Chains A and B, each alone.
Chain A
Amino acid sequence: MTTTQTGVRTTGRIGDSAQRPDGTLKVTGEFAYASDLWHDDMVWGVTLRSPHPHARIRRIDVTEALTVPGVSAVLTADDVPGENAYGLEHADQPVLAAEFVRYEGEPVALVAADHPETARRAAARIRVHYEVLPALTDPRRALDDDAPQVHPGGNLVRHLRLRRGDPEPTAPVVVSIDFEVGMQDQAFLGPESGLAVPAEDGGVDLYVATQWLHVDQRQICLALGMPPEKVRLTLAGVGGAFGGREDLSVHVHACLLALRTGRPVKMSYGREESFYGHVHRHPATMTYEFGAERDGTLVYAKARTLLDGGAYASSTAAVVGNAGLLGLGPYRIPSVAVDAYGVFTHNPPCGAMRGFGCVQAAFAHEALMDELAAAVGVSPVEIRQRNGFVEGDRTVTGQVIDSAAPVAELLQRVADLPLPSALPERPDLLDLPGAVGNTTHGEGVHRGVGYAVTYKNIGFSEGFDDYSTARVRLQVVAGEAVATVHTAAAEVGQGLVTVQQQIARTELGVERVVVVPADTAVGSAGSTSASRQTYVTGGAVKAACEAVRTAVLQRAAVALGRPVAGLALDGDKVVGPSGEVLAGLGEVLGDDAVEETVEWRHRPTHAVDPETGQGDAHVQFAFSAHRAVVDVDTELGLVKVVALDTAQDVGRAINPDAVVGQIHGGSAQGMGLALMEEVVVTDGHVRNPSFTDYLLPTILDMPPMRVEVLEYADPHAPYGVRGVGEPPTISSGPAVAAAVRAACAKPLRRVPIRPEHITGT
């Protein structure tokens, strides 16, 4: 469980690169991730999944499985006591498939046994009689009249329609493009895991790796038919998330098995199961057209985007919203017509992944900007600078950008960075595409440079009530002021626990801040997604600290007989206007603790007009630009990324090192999608569910990355912060793709770019 009560003291206020309070535990192997949990008398749960993308379940026979020695329970849909349905936005996904299975890997039955291998073998002895049905696996067919229906309501999840300006625009320069993006996996390293412990009150305590405890709790309660007070969640250590833990995985299953067996149940997926156990990034098919003046100034944009949502809704509707509302890039465009569709198919369900709808779109609009640059004869940097947003511009939904929008400056920053030196005449093999594969000594290798820029909404949009709750306590323990921060916010690796400490130190003047484990004993913190936690939970912690400080100073004012104005907290002392010590905190508080709980909201956002997509849908925008330099062996189609540099406006860096770490990691994930990462699905079947066959960037694949951090404070956000995590994932991939196109002079309208796309073979 994520706790920072480690005995390892860290320091640092906002603006410092404070160290992680859990860093020592993580380097010594003592940090308890969800898959590390253990309980006396626990049994192991496993899932039996559908081998078919679409089938009717005729009958399930569990008799043989129950006879396996060591098995304590076998459960099917009939054993779900509440509603057999869950989902982030629509409860359309069965906890265990009842009548139909709608994708390969859909959970059908559960087994608990005293050894995971016993449970797996027993699961293999469950006889499920399927009637295989025709599967809809081509999203382009989903809206055809004769397409198989995935759900009774039809195959459309959402159509986002965006219209602005001239409905029939014309322009002297017109460029267009078709682009396709493959299915990316979050590939967090810590597998989906949890431990459910049955409680004496008939309820259950679940320790689980997740991104949003309270939205999990709501769904689990529905399925178990239990009130929230009986379903208590605590965050277990999270080994990365990137959107892949927004939907439920082991949650309900482990609880069902625990309640049935009366024993603690641990579930932990292997890597193959993990590929079936969480949603992926939507594959996209896009058609874009830009019209511009002869100098490259954009006149209009048209786009049609199709996202394959797979078998269940998950967060597809919100992803479609982003792909539509933000899908034309950070550019001033007077007239727009966008239609973005999310559809059901019998492919694996798709949902949230870092960048959330903007990633796919950016590949298309950035490739098209390069086309436009070529058509009007200006550089890729210049075309973007000419059209890029500045503060005060209106987005394509009519929303005024009311804080910094430094598109031109970000591009200039990356453009001004020195370029890596050219390959020497006799290059080291390690510096070449193919490396020690010894596939080239430099012959056939061409260098390319590419640019991309993006913007991303921060926080939840379109009118969502987006808030976080923080409880902060201040007391004197053994003569030392100690602040305790309690939220339900999920630390997934990004460093939110560090940020919470830094904020409490800054606001309360204390050095010692304990961040207690996130759980549902405190109100919702919202999701660790949409790059929102430093903003929203940071805002809540700040507000709770301010409330504590006010309460303490009021007590001090009464005790000292002085006006509260002018009093301040400094460490374990109350000080006056010129810093003079007036009282020790211990004297003011005695043995009391002052505790305040605050629910904090950012400015409201609004739903968009259903006909035109117009409206103030977002609370904040974040911008980043990338420049990629690649060497491509055009004969073999091998790519070596030589440099991948970023400039990003972060508003205010609460923890500068952690900010840079987010940008590095986000850039790597974008590069992965451009060059190697794809969940290959044919006929509804996943062909590469392993780290042997799903390729992730290694340390040999990643180039040195320079990061230019700009800090233009957002006056509307706590401390001026701007979300950091997602933008670099959006702009890095398109920059890499552009660099490869420049190197090999091929259009390359699909990512990931494979060797055969480069060689044309």
Chain B
Amino acid sequence: MRVTTTVNGTERTADDVWPGESLLYLLRERLGLPGAKNACEQGECGSCTVYLDGEPVCACLVAAGQAIGREVTTVEGLAEGEALHPVQEAFVEAGAVQCGFCTPGLVVAAADLLARVPEPSDPEIREALAGNLCRCTGYEKILDAVRLAARRQATR
């Protein structure tokens, strides 16, 4: 089947998509956007988190066909030109990135949190990121990064 969807502001089309393919496969293998990651492919780890019409979703749980005519934003679409999104900047600065495989999903989830709740409490951060597994950091520096991004955002 043919899938036409808007990804990071650009209309993209893929042909010969097998109906069983996920949005994650479409993005990674057909549209050249491997930023969303394939760690569990059953919606447990959050590594594939992208926006679908402004809502964060696990791209592995969305069929490619469900994205037809809708808007997808991936981690590749968060930065504005050379300027990183405040959450991206904070993840680098706070040392919240080790292997980084969970990072794209966490960055999208954290950006979504700060868009909704500009000054989240620690429990709010933990609740919002509870669906994103990280195996390297023990999450401490991820909390630091989100707090840092919130502070930065408040002063801008």
Determine whether the beta carbon of A33 is less than 8 Å from that of B133. no
Cβ of A20 within 8 Å of any chain B Cβ, yes or no, is yes
With an 8 A cutoff between CB atoms, is B117 at the interface?
no
Whether A268 contacts B103 in the complex (CB less than 8 A), given A27-B91, A661-B98, comes out as no
- A541 sits at the interface (CB 8 A): no
- Of the candidates B76, B134, B137, which one forms a contact with A28 in the assembled complex, judged by CB atoms under 8 Å apart? B76
Question: Which residues of B sit under 8 angstroms from A690, Cβ to Cβ?
Answer: 40, 42, 44
Q: Which one, A74-82, A150-158, A183-191, A572-580, is touching chain B? A: A183-191
Which residues of chain A from 10 to 49 have a CB within 8 Å of any chain B CB? 17, 19-20, 22-24, 26-33, 35-36, 38
Q: Are B133 and A698 in contact (CB under 8 A)?
A: yes
A589 to chain B, nearest CB (A): 33
A187 and B18 contact, Cβ closer than 8 Å, known pairs A26-B103, A700-B126: no
Q: How far is the CA of A38 from the CA of B45 in the complex (A)?
A: 24
Q: Which of A487-495, A607-615, A616-624 contacts B (4 or more CB under 8 A)?
A: A487-495
- Contacts known (A27-B92, A240-B136, A661-B141); A20 close to B47, Cβ less than 8 A: no
The answer for the CA separation of A696 and B131 in the assembled complex, in Å, is 11
A430 to B132, CA, bound (A): 18
B91: A residues at CB distance < 8 A: 23, 27
Contacts of B138 in A (CB 8 A): 664-668, 697, 702, 705
Q: Does A464 contact B (CB under 8 A)?
A: no
Whether the Cβ atoms of A26 and B97 lie closer than 8 Å is yes
- What is the bound-complex CA distance between A204 and B132, given in angstroms? 37
Quick check: is A238 within 8 A (CB to CB) of the other chain? Answer: yes
Which single member of B38, B92, B93 contacts A191 (CB below 8 Å)? B38
Residue in B44, B47, B125, B143 with the greatest tally of chain A CB atoms within 10 Å:
B44
B62 to chain A minimum Cβ distance, whole angstroms, is 17
Distance to closest chain B CB from A26 (angstroms): 3
Write the nearest CB–CB distance from B132 to chain A, whole angstroms: 7
- Name which residue of chain A comes closest to B133, CB basis: A696
* Central interface residue in B127, B132, B134, by most chain A CB within 10 Å: B134
Which of A24, A29, A32, A698 is in CB contact (< 8 Å) with B36? A29
Which residue in B39, B92, B104, B140 is a CB contact (below 8 Å) of A271? B39
Complex contacts, B76 vs chain A, CB 8 Å: 28-30
Interface string of B92-135 (1 = CB under 8 A from A): 11010111111110010000000000000001011101111111
Contacting pair B97 A189 (CB below 8 A): no
Secondary structure at chain A's binding surface: helix, strand, loop or mixed? loop
Do the beta carbons of B34 and A493 come within 8 Å of each other? no
Q: Is A207 positioned at the interface, with any CB of B under 8 Å from its CB?
A: no
Cβ of A166 to closest chain B Cβ, rounded Å: 43
Question: A699 to B125, alpha carbons, bound, how many Å?
Answer: 9
| Chain A nearest CB, measured from B144 CB (Å) | 10
B95 touches A240 (CB 8 A): no
A696 in complex: contacting residue of B20, B47, B88, B135, CB < 8 Å: B135
Q: In the complex, are the beta carbons of A24 and B84 less than 8 A apart?
A: yes
B37 near A33: Cβ-Cβ < 8 Å: yes
A residues near B74, Cβ cutoff 8 Å: 29
Give Cα distance in the complex from A666 to B137, angstroms.
8
Q: How far is the CA of A705 from the CA of B143 in the complex (A)?
A: 12
| Assembly CA distance A26 to B129 (angstroms) | 18
CB-CB under 8 A from B127, the residues of chain A are 430, 700
Determine the distance from Cα of A238 to Cα of B135 in the docked complex, in whole angstroms.
Answer: 13
Tell whether B14 is near chain A: CB-to-CB under 8 Å. no
Q: Is A19 touching B93 in the complex (CB atoms < 8 A)?
A: yes
B35 at the interface (CB under 8 A from A): yes
Contact B38 A665 (CB under 8 A): no
| In the bound complex, CA of A454 to CA of B75 (Å) | 40
- Which residues of chain B are within 8 angstroms of A657 by Cβ–Cβ distance? 95, 141
- B39 & A239 in contact (Cβ 8 Å cutoff): yes
Complex CA distance for A493 and B42, rounded to whole angstroms? 24
| Distance between Cα atoms of A657 and B148 in the complex (Å) | 15
Nearest to A31 among chain B residues (CB) is B100
Contact B44–A691 (Cβ < 8 Å): yes
Q: Which of A639-685 contact B (CB under 8 A)?
A: 657-658, 660-661, 664-669
Inter-chain contacts of A28 with B (CB < 8 A): 35, 75-76, 78-79, 84, 88
Q: Does B68 contact A (CB under 8 A)?
A: no
Say yes or no: is B41 at the interface (Cβ < 8 Å to chain A): yes
Residues A208-253 near B (CB distance < 8 A): 238-242
Given A29-B76, A690-B40, A699-B130, the answer on whether A665 and B98 have CB atoms closer than 8 Å is: yes
Which of A29, A238, A669 sits near B99, CB closer than 8 Å?
A: A238
Q: Quick check: B40 and A271 within 8 Å, CB to CB?
A: yes
Q: Does A692 touch B at the CB level, under 8 Å?
A: yes
B108: nearest chain-A partner, CB-CB? A29
B63 within 8 A of A: no
B33 beta carbon closer than 8 Å to chain A: yes
Contacts A27-B97, A239-B101, A691-B44; is A35 near B136 (CB within 8 Å)? no
Complex interface: chain A residues within 8 A of B40 (CB): 271, 690-692
Distance in angstroms from A210 CB to nearest chain B CB is: 13
Q: Which of A27, A35, A238, A705 has the most CB of B within 10 A?
A: A27
A188, A190, A658, most chain B CB atoms within 10 A: A190
CA distance A667 to B135 in the complex (A): 11
Assess whether A691 is in contact with B42, with CB atoms less than 8 Å apart: yes
Please list the 7 inter-chain residue pairs (A to B) with the smallest Cβ-Cβ separation, ordered nearest first. A29-B35, A493-B99, A26-B100, A239-B101, A668-B138, A664-B138, A36-B34
Pull 5 A–B residue pairs with CB atoms less than 8 Å apart, ordered by A: A28-B84, A29-B33, A32-B34, A33-B34, A691-B45
